[in-house]
Structure formats: structure tokens, C-alpha cells
Amino acid sequence: MKKIAVFDAKKYDQKSFSQYEGKYQFTYFKDRLSSKTVKLAQGFDAVICFVNDELNDEVLTKLKQFNIHGVFLRCAGYNNVDLKSAYTNKIHVARVPAYSPYAVAEHAFALILSLNRHIHKAYIRSRDFNFNLESLTGFDLYNKTIGVVGTGKIGRVFIDIAKGFGMKVLCYDPYPAKDSGYDYTTLEEIYRQSEIISLHCPLTPENHHMINQKAIEQMKDGVMIINTSRGGLIDSKALLEGLKEKKIGAVGLDVYEEEANLFFHDNSAKIIDDDILALLISMPNVIVTSHQAFLTIEALDNIAETTINNLDEFFAGTFMHNELCYHCQQSDNPEQCYKLKTKRCF
């Protein structure tokens, strides 16, 4: 039986993978995969990783030395993977491209509704039997303009929800969805027109810190910014300044660019030395959740099932449908290659 090392594993991960225990032998590590912990992978046939595991050249080279040639991400994003190094070291990398777009899109709207109607503040008040309505005024979402950056599977579900509220939806995506009927425009127009901006795109070198000081200056006064994608899409310092200057009216974050050593762990007894995050969390118009947008029963089941299918294809030596290829990612349209391929990247 093939032995699989599962890094950054939580109890809910073990529960979702437990139904496949007879097929593979899983060993769960609470530690994130990094240069310090990669030695734990020795003796295994493959590794399963998560969003904040470090799959850089040093780690991937070590995995090759351990004769591990399969890395399986139980997530959609792969900005934490050095695909060039994986190709050089002949390590196949596969991901879970879609586990539940509904889970993430619904969480994004939960942040919008909570911020707009001040649910988080009302909850705290009512716990003290304070039923004062001062400072709890929101606004109708109906007929408001919402800018959606990224129209992949999650973005499309989010758009459907927004339209259900009767909102005007503006979209931006470097690869527009054909025949979608979406109102595509430029980022500048989204910044200029939107009362709410929600990010639903992967993190790439091109869009790193796309929400920066210059972008914020172009936005409407009192804009609400929602990010359930990747923390690196937003310049946290610029975000904090925008809040201080009252340019930004509200912020909902399920991700944070320096989250790796904080999120998914109980830090309640520790002093947080990240001043920016501490200040963001202290603000009454900011909600930070702990990268939990994906966390539904359906999503966890889908993640486990797809990861097992990826493992099956890898060990069978067949075409890997969800493989990430360095050469594909360098093309103008990285999705095109997957549609044409009938064999592995190498």
C-alpha cells in the first residue's frame, strides 16, 4: 500500500480522507511543509499539501532526493509552488481546481452582509443585552454596483448571487468568459464605479498587490473591499492607510498576505507581532476570518475525492487531468494546454 504524507493536516482533513484509508496509508502531520519539516516526508511515496505549505526549490529538491515524485495540493491555488523547480526535479504536481465554488462565493457574500448590516457588532451588543440601534445603519444592496475581479467558477457563482440581490455587476478578467453576457470592463472602471469590490482571482506575479495605494485612490469614497482569494492581491499597508483616511468604508478578508504562520492555528494566548493585522482586526468596519471560505462539508468531501483521483492517476502512470505544468503556465492562455493534452507534462 502506498504511503502518503499529509502536511498541515487538521481534524476535518483526517475525517474527509478517512474513507479512503484502505486504499492508501495516510500519515497526518500538523506541521506545514517547509525546508525545516521536509525531512518528515522521507520514506513516503507522495505528499499532500495545503495553501500555506512551502513548495520552493529547496523543498522540491529534497523531495526528489527522497524519491518522491508526486505532490498533491488539496486546494485550487498554487502560487506557493515553484513549478519550474518541480519540472526540473521531475515532480508531478496536481491540484483540486474546483471543490465548491458555492462555499467560497457564499462566504464572500456573508462578509458583505455582515459588514453592511453590522451583524458582528449587533451580535456583541445583544450578548450584553444592549439593543441600541445606533451606528448599525446599512444600505440596500439592490441597484448598487459591485465589481467582480475574476470570473472563474467561484466568480460566476458570486455573480449569480449578486444578481439575485438585484445588483449591477461589473466584471474584469484577463480571460473573459465567452458568451457569458457579463458586463466586462477595465479595472479602472471597476474602481471608479463600484460600491463593493470582490476579488475572485488566483495570485500571479502580474496581479500581486493589484489593490494598492494607486488603485485605492481611484475608488469611490466608502468602498467595501472583499477578498476571499489570496492575501497577496492586496497591499496590506495601503489597505490600512485607506481605512485610516476613511477612503475605504469596510473590508472583509478571509485571506491575508502574511497569514502563513498565523491562520489555521490558535494564537489566542500569544502576542501577535504583525502590527498591520492587529490594527485591521481592531477596526469596527473590518472582519477577518481565518481562510475558512472553503470550509463546508461538501467542499471537504470534494477535495478528498479529487485528491484521491489525482493520486490514482499518478500511481497508475496515466494522464493526470489536474496536473500543473511549468510550460503550460508560461503560455498566453494556460488553460488551453490542458484541453489539448492527452499525456503527462513529462
Q: Which of 230, 257, 313, 323 is catalytic?
A: 230
Q: Which of 92, 107, 156, 291 is catalytic?
A: 291
First and final CA of the chain: distance in angstroms? 25
Determine contact, residues 222/194, Cβ cutoff 8 Å.
no
Determine contact, residues 161/198, Cβ cutoff 8 Å.
no
- For this structure, is 95 an active site residue? no
- For this structure, is 74 an active site residue? no
Determine contact, residues 154/102, Cβ cutoff 8 Å.
no
- Label the pairing between strands 70-73 and 145-149: unpaired
Determine contact, residues 44/22, Cβ cutoff 8 Å.
no
Q: Which of 54, 195, 259, 313 is catalytic?
A: 259
Determine contact, residues 49/33, Cβ cutoff 8 Å.
yes
Listed residue (303, 333, 339, 301) closest to 321, CA to CA: 339
Q: How far apart are CA 249 and CA 144, in angstroms?
A: 15
SS3 of 22, please? Answer: coil
Task: Give the count of alpha carbons within 13 A of 48, CB side only.
Answer: 31
SS3 of 258, please? Answer: coil
- For this structure, is 200 an active site residue? no
Residues 6+ apart with CB under 8 A from 44: 3, 4, 5, 27, 66, 68
Q: Is 290 exposed, middle or buried (0-12, 13-18, 19+ CB in 10 A)?
A: middle
Residues designated catalytic? 230, 259, 291
